[in-house]
Structure 1
Amino acid sequence: MRTNIYLVRHAESPFRYGEERERGISEAGAQAAKRVADLLRMEGIDVVVTSPYARALLTVQPLAEQLKLPIHSYEGLHERFVEGDHQVSWEAKKQAVKKSFEDPDYAMDGGESTREAQQRVIPILMDLLDTYHGKRIVIGTHGNIMTVMMNYYDQSYGYDFWEQTTMPDIYRMTFEGNQLLQIVRLWN
């Protein structure tokens, strides 16, 4: 029996340094979250889980409300910090992300490597596949963590993929047991 995981990258969220956990989504992001709900409600979603960060939760909340499903928050699904505790330029962050997909053990001082992020999130994904076998599961997530999850199964999902994703974005990963069969983009 196949299990579908719908990775929903959060909607547009104004960046504010130091407010990773609390920052929400913009008005345009709220409208896009409603479109996410409209697109996914016909998929027969059974379970909604999310990163604990507000922007991920707010992106999947309209869907959960429409379907009258609870939202399960997983601390381990939080975004990956590439730069550690110090503020660096956007260009430096992008270069760190690029290098982290070229070398899965690379991390800026205080940051998290691709391998470390996978060791954090893949057990959660495996647990969801086991617990909700044969179901359709939405995961409210982040661009970097979404790419890290996909990269675990297919290394062609790396920096170039991450850089072209949108806010929001939706990818359906279809599994047979714990084996990935395909990834399909649903957002356009």
Structure 2
Amino acid sequence: MNKEVYIIRHCKAEGQEPGASLTKEGMAHAEKLRVFFQGKEVDRIVTSPYKRAIQSIQPLGLEKGVAIEEEIRLEERRLSSEPLTDWLEKLERTYYDMELAYEGGETSRIASERAMSVLEEVLHGEGEIIILVTHGNLMSLILGEFDQSFGFEEWKRLSNPDVYRIKPFRRTVERMWMED
């Protein structure tokens, strides 16, 4: 199999809640994503059901005539159900302890398994060129499955949007998006 999977982190949004819309800058970046993929075949688009993820890929889906499939397993990882003033420090710990969970949150291992189950399904499904649209933390966990060096510091360097290409059967990861 020669499948390629593009993993996209959504464009800039007005907030973190599931219904948060893209900012004006985020909408402009969604248009840049459309242009970025203009010369590429796209067989499938699977996205987090969060509004910002859907809005990030809608221009491309419309241009390519590819249906946007919503997949709840691509929603952002829940760190905790409680507000955390030191959330960044707590998040960093979860990259070093894959079993660490905070109140009402999920471990990095469980979030990674959830995301990887989607990847496995699309790899054994229709299409050769597949786009997955998700969120930064979940994206970094997926990338870490293919590149062990991808961790907290790499997560911090992700942009909104960001695009990585995975060639799963070769186990290669390549950043494709260059910030403007």
TM-score normalised by length of structure 1:
0.90
1:96–1:107 CA contact under 8 A, matched in 2: no
| Pairs within 5 Å for 1:167-186 | 167-176=160-169, 180-186=170-176
**Number of residue pairs aligned between Structure 1 and Structure 2:** 178
Residue in 2 that maps onto 1:103: 97
- Corresponding residue SS for 1:29: helix
Q: What secondary structure does 1:140 align onto?
A: strand
Question: Structure 2: how far apart are the matches of 1:147 and 1:31?
Answer: 24
Q: For 1:37-186, what aligned pairs fall within 5 Å after superposition?
A: 37-82=34-79, 84-89=80-85, 92-132=86-126, 135-176=128-169, 180-186=170-176
Which amino acid in structure 2 is aligned with residue 69 of structure 1? V
Structure 2 unaligned regions, length at least 5: none
Higher mean alpha-carbon deviation, 2-11 vs 145-154, is at 145-154
**CA distance, structure 2, for counterparts of residue 187 and residue 153 of structure 1:** 18
* Cα RMSD (Å): 1.2
What does the per-residue CA deviation read over 1:103-151, in whole Å, with 9 as the maximum and x for residues that have no partner? 1101222111110101211111101100036x10011110001001111
Report runs of 4+ in structure 1 exceeding 3 Å deviation.
none
Q: Secondary structure at the match of 1:131?
A: coil
SS at match of 1:117: helix
Deviations 1:157-180 (A, max 9, x none): 11001000000000010122xxx4
CA drift at 1:153 = 2.4
Map Cα deviations across residues 37-60 of structure 1 (whole Å, 9 max, x no partner). Answer: 100121211111100101111101
Aligned counterpart, 1:5: 5
Q: Distance in 2 between matches of 1:54 and 1:170?
A: 18
Identity %: 28
Asked if structure 2 preserves the Cα contact closer than 8 Å seen for 1:36 and 1:60, the reply is yes
Q: 1:21 aligns with which of 6, 18, 21?
A: 18
Alpha-carbon distance in structure 2 between the residues aligned to 1:100 and 1:43: 36
Q: In structure 1, list runs of 5 or more residues that go unmatched.
A: none
Secondary structure of 1:166's partner? coil
Residue 27 (structure 2) aligns with? 30
